[in-house]
Amino acid sequence: MTRAIVLFTAALLLAAGTSFAQNPQPYAGMQARPLKALSGDELTDLREGRGMGLALAGELNGYPGPKHVLELAKELNLTEAQRARTQQLFDDMKAEAVPLGQQLIAAEAGLERQFSGRTITPVSLTAATTAIGATWGTLRATHLKYHLAMMDVLTPDQVRRYGELRGYGTVAPAGHSSGMHNHKK
């Protein structure tokens, strides 16, 4: 068993060394980005309130997101009430996510200014990264709560169909609420 672990570790180190040898400058070019910690796509996504994969825990476990439900409205046979509620959830999500994205960009810019200005200290580093981490967490929770809210809008069959349409199979979370399908509107 110990020999297997040693061989496995050696293989990993060899692979890591080979990877580095193939690209010894993985960050080359990033120094010219306006905000070094975030790509142009990430900045756009944050400014526009996009999910950026932050809600994958919900999405891939059978909790549909409002944006994609709207995109699949016809295929899911949404009622007018479901469509209206989903649109409202999407609009509310963006209204929360956009300011959080701006807050995150500002916090990352502040951290970068401290590094580029050579004013960073251990205390200011901790404060800045703690604030950035909390904002990322709040942004993630924002996106996830709207995936959760969709469970009160869709029927179990629509949730299953959503998973199929998105290529996830027919996974539906346990404890699915009765949702809007019990309400005639």
End-to-end Cα spacing for the chain: 64
pLDDT of residue 83: 98
Q: How deeply is 17 buried, as exposed, middle or buried, from its count of CB atoms within 10 A (0-12, 13-18, 19+)? A: exposed
Mean pLDDT of the chain: 87
pLDDT at 184 over 50: no
User: pLDDT at position 32, please?
Assistant: 84
Greater confidence (148 vs 11) lies with: 148
- Pairwise CA distance, residues 45 & 101, whole Å: 8
What proportion of the chain, given as a percentage, has pLDDT over 70? Answer: 80
Half-sphere exposure of 179 (CA within 13 A, CB side): 23
pLDDT tier, 23 (very low <50, low <70, confident <90, very high otherwise): confident
Q: What is the mean pLDDT of residues 93-111?
A: 98
Rounded (10°) CA dihedral 125, 130, 136, 137: 160
Q: Write down the pLDDT at residue 34.
A: 86
